[in-house]
Structure 1
Amino acid sequence: MIKASILRSSSLVSICVAMTVGACAGSAFAQSPASEASRGVEDIVVTAQKRSESIQDVPATIAAFSQEALQERQIRGLGDLITRVPSLQVGYTYGSNTVTLRGVSTNLTSGFEDPSVAIHVNGVYQARARSLNLVLMDLERIEVLSGPQGTLYGRNATGGVINYILRGATDQMEAQVTGRVGNYDSYAIQGHISGPISDTVGFRISGMLDHRDKGFVKNLQPGAAKKRFGENKFTGIRGLLDFQPSDTVQLTLEGSYGNTRGSFNPGVLAPSLNPARQPRLDPQTYRPQKVYADYPSENNTKEYSATATLVWDISDDVQFKSISAYNKYDNAMPIDYDGSGFNAQTILQNVKSDTYTQEFNLNLDSIDGRLKSIFGIYYFNDSAYADTEVISALFSPTSTPTSTYFATNRLKAKSIAFFTDQTFSVTDSLRIIGGIRYNIDKKYTVQFIRNSCPNAANPGVTDQKFTAWTPKAGIQFDVTDRIMAYANYQKGFKAGGVAAGTCGNAYEPESIEGGEVGLKTTFADNRVRLNIAGYWYNYGNLQVQKTLGTIGGFSVVNAADSRIKGIEANLDAVITPQFKLDASAMVQSAKYKDFENCNQTIVLPAGQFACTASDTRPASERVEQVAGNWLNRAPPYSFSVGAQYTADLGGGELSLRGESYWSGKVRFNEFNTSVLSQRAYNIQNAYVSFTPDSETFVLRAFMKNIRNVNYKASAYYSGLTAQYTVVWNPPRTYGLEASYNF
């Protein structure tokens, strides 16, 4: 039995890696010769530029994870990607994933506002940040494209794009079932069956049941009906039909349904800043993964999706593609938001939406293949509404909960865009890149806010229209067959809107423009791949979420200006046929250049709150200049290293992998408040797998966050309780998994 002291030792992975390296060095020349393919670094074909090409041919920073890598490293969510994408940060706020790439992020959390990193599933943009469980059922590949991608992907790709590619129908009959058990009473079973129905029709059916019955967060409230929070129970099914009536036409129809039941309950970091309120909030705890809660919080989602993809090879040089999609989303999240045994802030929220998207692409090769062109049209139609109610007994002399705030929000968003991307080969080694996109975005918002707005009897109506040109230009040069250099410039933008739950708080679009230069190299007989990129961006008018007074709602303001610059690198090396090494690193500066704002975490004398109607200070004293402060969720550095050793056991293959990840300090608000920050931290993961020579089954074991490090996923200020609120990342998790191939 492994002792706890060993599990907590910071040198565990270092020892494992050292042992692995030693074993590898001692046996490298005793192994049988490996094929050229097994000796080289795996090449991954990606579709990040809406056409299939080697990852080394893409003139941009892109990280891709194959199906094998996803399984080996137990990648089952966005948070599992940070150890291999150096500029990626993933948080969790108010039931939503918060994604940051290269310092570009958002802290908008109502479920209505747009993200700063666009997420696509099989080419379909995902409008709701809380809906990603469906992709885990049948994942083939993940692509992470860093930096603004305003030309090919349009709005909401200011920080980059994450593409999830799901598996399709197979030419031969196949089936697989996978079972998993782990700590926190987790268990899962998933499987698929796929193959041909006829010469022209294929199918695929996949399903998944993934439960974690014991949540990470322990409820210390005596007699509470719910003892833990953070459990997650997902059930889903996906079906696909693939029609190929001729060699040139393929139509794929797919549909899926997912049901997620869980809970979300934030904790607190310190006593209330208002000494008059703290006594009513007792008892509280400020320890990680522990909370007092008198309300059985939930976070339940149902989601339906349907997609039709038509690919028509008109000729050898012309391809037409159509992607039509519909998504229905329904989320209910009643949560205890105050982290105390007193009913100070219970939030009841329901969000529903219906989203339709349509994209047409035309890919052409012309001038004897020297000009590669993409022309596209994109249409987006989103109809969503949210009802939010805050129930509190904080101000009641009898401690009787009453409704202190109620908001109804209706949103109709439409977008249409026209875009083109061109790559021209001047010579066999030199290529010039150019493109442009024109976006038209319209948003129609209806809001009713009870007890808050001056004319609450009449709904507030806001009609907005935003347009933007987002060009790109670049150059690409093959220094040798194994070295490619590139430089590019690109713009991106994110539409404005109206903050949900406010009295018509409209905010403007944000924009980003800048460049990237990089080298993509492979050498040592294709055993080493090293990619390096430098980037710099002017990031303007970024949208920043603010706490609304004492009711606990949020508004949005636009920060004037910020600057981002950095360098990142990725290394993959096959040291021997049995030993592989990978590493990634990033250093950056991501800071506000000009932004004046009122600091809502300041409590004035007599318990008055800053930035509210009770703040009687002169206007010049109410604002604070945060120029020079770090952007939210933008660490100054990150570094990861992984080592994998594969041994032949004489009847199968044993694979051992260890990895370690370091992150610099992460700030969660523009004032860089110390308590609302995560200091630099380091985590380790380990994986073991065994595959017999027959490849009929695979056995895996894993352990993540080996030292059980407590580190923040997000931290923010709650206006009603005047407290610093926190969500922690998962603690140590481990488990066993087995897959059987039929």
Structure 2
Amino acid sequence: MLWTIPAAAQVVGPTSGTSVQPNPRTDPTDPQPPQPQADAGDGAEVGLGDIIVTANRREQSVQDVGGTVQALTGEDLARSGINDISRLEQLAPGIVFAKSGNDAKLALRGANSNSTFADNTSIVGVFVDGVYKPRASQQSRAFFDVSRIEVLRGPQGTLYGRNTLGGAINLYTNGPDLSKPGITGSVDSRYSRFNDFRNESVVNYGVSDEFGMRLALLTQSSDGWVKNLIGRNLGQADTLSLRGSMLAKPSDDVSFVLRVTHIRENGNPAGMFAIQGACRTTAVNGLTDPLGPVTDCQNPRRGSGGTPRFDLIDGKAGLSNKDKRTVYRDFVNDDRLRETNITLEGNADLGPVGLKSITSYTNFTSLLGNDSDYSANPHGREWVEENNESFSQEVQLQSKWQGPLQATVGGYYSTDKILFSYSSLRHTLDNLAARPTATSTNGVVLPVQIGTPLVSLANVINSASNNTQFITSTYIGAFGEATLSITDRLRVIGGARYNTETKRALNGNAAYVGPINPASPPDEPTAVFPYNDLTATARSRVRAKFNNVTWRAGAEFDVADDVLLYGTASTGFLSGVMNQNGTVTQPQKSRSFEGGLKSRFWERRAELNVAVYDVRYSALATTFQIPNPANVGSFITLSSNGGVLKARGVEVSGALLPVEAWRISFGGSYIDAVYGRFGINLPGGFQVFNGAVPANRFIDLRGQRPPYTPEFTFSVATSYALDVGFGTITPQVQMRYSDSYFAHGGLPYDRSGFQPSFTQTDVRVGFSPAEGNWSLEGFVENIEDEMLNQRTQTGGDGLQQANWGLPRNYGVRLKFNF
């Protein structure tokens, strides 16, 4: 049940591993759900329990891991309303979540995943049941029937199949439970604002002690939370996902888990690149300037009309910053996302060593569309298509012998076949002559970016462009880590990793097939841009190979039974990016030092963890834009190595159990992060910088704070289980605070991306009957109705494309077990 609390109470909250449960399984290869602890009357130790994680590829209490790891069970996540990766920041101070379309853009310890377009890779790796998700648009899927989630900070690689630059998120799903014979299961339903209905159903069939099956089904539908005044709303959910799993244990020493997952999402995200435009800054003469003194809220996109007729919201002409949930869009795409994954995990106890094998195949496709003029005017459409077929094989050997030396070694192989395509279509004519011109302070004459009215609805095309990229990647890695116990209290750790990745890219522009009738423009890019390698233009073939060795070293010292001191040093690596114009970036690298204390005291009723870190990222990727020769006035987004970013900070987490029914947890993060030698190209939509056209459009960010990096964040959660005789009523409050930060992915000081400091508070009240198999909860999330600026980027025509987070939400949740 949702709110049943054993005597050894469980703590939920924004702490590093203090969201505690009893040991969820005795064998990490046997995916059983957490079993309840014995009550205090049965002799169990009262206080904070342990949650067992496998962050170090061994079954350990999270308090025994020498590193910053936050672990949350499936019930913790559900109890806090975390239905996908976007709300992890509610319980994990220091993590900032941004989003564009389907892409998850996580920021952690100064570095951000703003660059996820085309071949770019997230700086935070996401693994589902041990399988790496290579595309950022895959990272927020599979979030149902969750057993637990682990958030690891800092480079990972000496224990993982794929290396990561800034951290890793491990999500583990529930497998068949053999301890429950026959058919059991649950139905977990949530209904909330915007007619959002989410239902998660699970059926478990324990056939015998040696074989079991499990089926999990997720459905979600909603009306969409962004109101479209002339068409379908944005942010509509239409999801059907299922996961079937089988567990076979032919002997006590051998087990196999087969998982088959299929995810189907229709509907549409709130915005492919943006929900709405944001007000932009301009010079006095009207040229777009990130340091300009004038605020202009008109829609500057060509074809938008540039008049209140098309932009009127809240009684004011222009793009509204007051009502971020209202848009005018004549075109809303029928978006499609499909993912099918088959994973076979095998485990064998070979005596002195344990063997683990993870074999996985994934087929992923995604097609998003957008109204490119951001108005009611029927002028332009754009699409992003992303497909990936991947195969991976990982093998691990883990020592099981007795002795001071313990080790894990492994090998990894993967192949990825990626298609990435961006298509832009203007299917009516606009009047560019309506734009006046202005002169920059260094004498360059440029057009003033204002929306252009339509001048023709003839059966003609104004312009069309397509950039298509086929990438194949072959990855081989070998890794290992060993721990040597010098004394009963002192351990030293050393690990290394070697990887080699070969990438091949075919770049080209698909030929335009026209003409287009503006009365019935196409809904899919393939109708306009069927790719044919024989007729494609701007073709290029590129091959690159990336080899690297990373390492990790550290020491752990048990000051007392419940007090651990640790220190680590590690390095991270990401291969270079294959750009759509045939260029290749250099690899990104990181170096991290961390020291910390993990402690429990007051008869294990209190917990305090502190971590201090210093991270340096070099050759960090950034994006810039160049004019698209196939479509005058539009731009191609590319990646380059910006330079160095330095970050250091302190993370604190803790938990209190004053009485067994009262739970408190808290966490805080302070980070000092600045760019070192770091330069970017002025984003294409900006015409001048401080009034002038910069030489080579180069902007130096040395000394600037990076985006998505608030200086201080803090979270606290508390709940109290009140026994009312016929059941338990449990109120819960959780709140997070964040300092202000900039959410512009290119220029960290552009005011269109400024997010002021804020708080977000959630309140929940749950009821579980004394006798019964159900529970009921009511909730209000984001009471303050903060709509956070999750990401702003400068697009063509100077449009500041902005994505905002969800507004206030409220609803009920009912869970039934059988």
Please give the TM-score of this superposition, normalised by the length of structure 1. 0.89
| Deviations, residues 508-556 of structure 1 (Å, cap 9, x unaligned) | 1100002100000001110111110000011100001123344143111
Cα deviation, residue 67, structure 1:
2.3
Q: Find the partner of 2:326 among 281, 284, 290.
A: 290
Query: In the aligned structure 1, how far is the partner of 2:582 from the partner of 2:379?
Result: 26
Sequence identity (%)? 25
Cα deviation, residue 399, structure 1:
4.8
Cα deviation, residue 95, structure 1:
2.6
- Helix, strand or coil at the partner of 2:143: helix
Q: Tell me if 1:159 matches 2:234.
A: no
Superposed, 1:228-627 pairs within 5 Å as: 228-264=233-269, 265=271, 266=274, 267-270=276-279, 280-282=305-307, 283-284=310-311, 285-287=319-321, 288-315=324-351, 317-343=352-378, 345-366=380-401, 368-392=402-426, 396-397=430-431, 398-399=455-456, 402-449=462-509, 457=537, 459-499=539-579, 502-549=580-627, 550-600=633-683, 603-604=686-687, 618-619=695-696, 622-627=697-702
Query: In the aligned structure 1, how far is the partner of 2:361 from the partner of 2:374?
Result: 38
Distance 1:602 1:183, change over 3 A: closer
Query: In the aligned structure 2, how far is the partner of 1:714 from the partner of 1:34?
Result: 52
Query: In the aligned structure 2, how far is the partner of 1:725 from the partner of 1:246?
Result: 57
Distance 1:603 1:332, change over 3 A: closer
Contact 2:185-2:202 within 8 A present in 1 as well: yes
| Deviations, residues 328-387 of structure 1 (Å, cap 9, x unaligned) | 111111112442223555212222111111100000034x33211001001111111123
Contact 2:40-2:46 within 8 A present in 1 as well: no
- Helix, strand or coil at the partner of 1:349: strand
- What are the ranges of 5 or more consecutive residues in structure 1 without an aligned counterpart? 1-31
Superposed, 1:611-690 pairs within 5 Å as: 618-619=695-696, 622-667=697-742, 668-672=744-748, 673-690=750-767
In the alignment, which residue of structure 1 is the partner of 2:297? Answer: none
Cα deviation, residue 625, structure 1:
1.5
- Helix, strand or coil at the partner of 1:81: helix
Q: Find the partner of 1:178 among 176, 179, 188.
A: 188
2:815 aligned partner, one-letter code: S
Contact 1:445-1:498 within 8 A present in 2 as well: yes
- Helix, strand or coil at the partner of 2:406: strand
Q: Find the partner of 2:90 among 70, 83, 89.
A: 83
2:491 aligned partner, one-letter code: R
1:578 aligned partner, one-letter code: A
Contact 2:86-2:140 within 8 A present in 1 as well: no
Superposed, 1:43-122 pairs within 5 Å as: 43-122=50-129
Contact 2:217-2:242 within 8 A present in 1 as well: yes
In the alignment, which residue of structure 2 is the partner of 1:18? Answer: none
1:663 aligned partner, one-letter code: S
| Deviations, residues 30-53 of structure 1 (Å, cap 9, x unaligned) | xx9877758412311001111211
Cα deviation, residue 150, structure 1:
2.8
Q: How many residues of Structure 1 are paired with residues of Structure 2 in the alignment?
A: 690
Distance 1:57 1:269, change over 3 A: same
Query: In the aligned structure 1, how far is the partner of 2:143 from the partner of 2:617?
Result: 33
In the alignment, which residue of structure 1 is the partner of 2:22? Answer: none
In the alignment, which residue of structure 2 is the partner of 1:189? Answer: 199
Query: In the aligned structure 2, how far is the partner of 1:582 from the partner of 1:298?
Result: 42
- Helix, strand or coil at the partner of 1:137: coil
In the alignment, which residue of structure 2 is the partner of 1:207? Answer: 217
Contact 1:281-1:340 within 8 A present in 2 as well: no
Contact 2:188-2:199 within 8 A present in 1 as well: yes
Contact 2:161-2:394 within 8 A present in 1 as well: no
Contact 2:594-2:613 within 8 A present in 1 as well: yes
1:250 aligned partner, one-letter code: S
| Deviations, residues 614-633 of structure 1 (Å, cap 9, x unaligned) | x98644xx322110111221
Contact 2:392-2:412 within 8 A present in 1 as well: yes
Cα deviation, residue 566, structure 1:
0.5
| Deviations, residues 171-229 of structure 1 (Å, cap 9, x unaligned) | 213211122211101112221111322342111111111112x2121223xxx332x10
Query: In the aligned structure 2, how far is the partner of 1:402 from the partner of 1:185?
Result: 40
Distance 1:166 1:399, change over 3 A: farther
Contact 2:626-2:684 within 8 A present in 1 as well: no
Query: In the aligned structure 2, how far is the partner of 1:565 from the partner of 1:399?
Result: 57
Moved more, 187-196 or 421-430: 187-196
Q: Tell me if 1:147 matches 2:222.
A: no
Distance 1:299 1:664, change over 3 A: farther
Moved more, 542-551 or 351-360: 542-551
In the alignment, which residue of structure 1 is the partner of 2:522? Answer: none
| Deviations, residues 541-582 of structure 1 (Å, cap 9, x unaligned) | 000112334414311111111111000011111111121111
- What are the ranges of 5 or more consecutive residues in structure 2 without an aligned counterpart? 1-38, 288-299, 312-318, 432-454, 513-534, 628-632
Contact 1:629-1:670 within 8 A present in 2 as well: no
Cα deviation, residue 291, structure 1:
1.9
- Helix, strand or coil at the partner of 1:229: coil
Query: In the aligned structure 2, how far is the partner of 1:402 from the partner of 1:326?
Result: 42
Query: In the aligned structure 2, how far is the partner of 1:602 from the partner of 1:526?
Result: 56
Query: In the aligned structure 2, how far is the partner of 1:506 from the partner of 1:610?
Result: 27
Q: Find the partner of 1:710 among 781, 787, 804.
A: 787
Distance 1:583 1:603, change over 3 A: closer
Moved more, 660-669 or 481-490: 660-669
In the alignment, which residue of structure 2 is the partner of 1:17? Answer: none
1:731 aligned partner, one-letter code: P
1:225 aligned partner, one-letter code: G
Distance 1:524 1:645, change over 3 A: same
1:589 aligned partner, one-letter code: D
- Helix, strand or coil at the partner of 1:151: coil
In the alignment, which residue of structure 2 is the partner of 1:16? Answer: none
- Helix, strand or coil at the partner of 2:90: coil
Contact 1:298-1:335 within 8 A present in 2 as well: no
Query: In the aligned structure 1, how far is the partner of 2:695 from the partner of 2:375?
Result: 35
In the alignment, which residue of structure 1 is the partner of 2:11? Answer: none
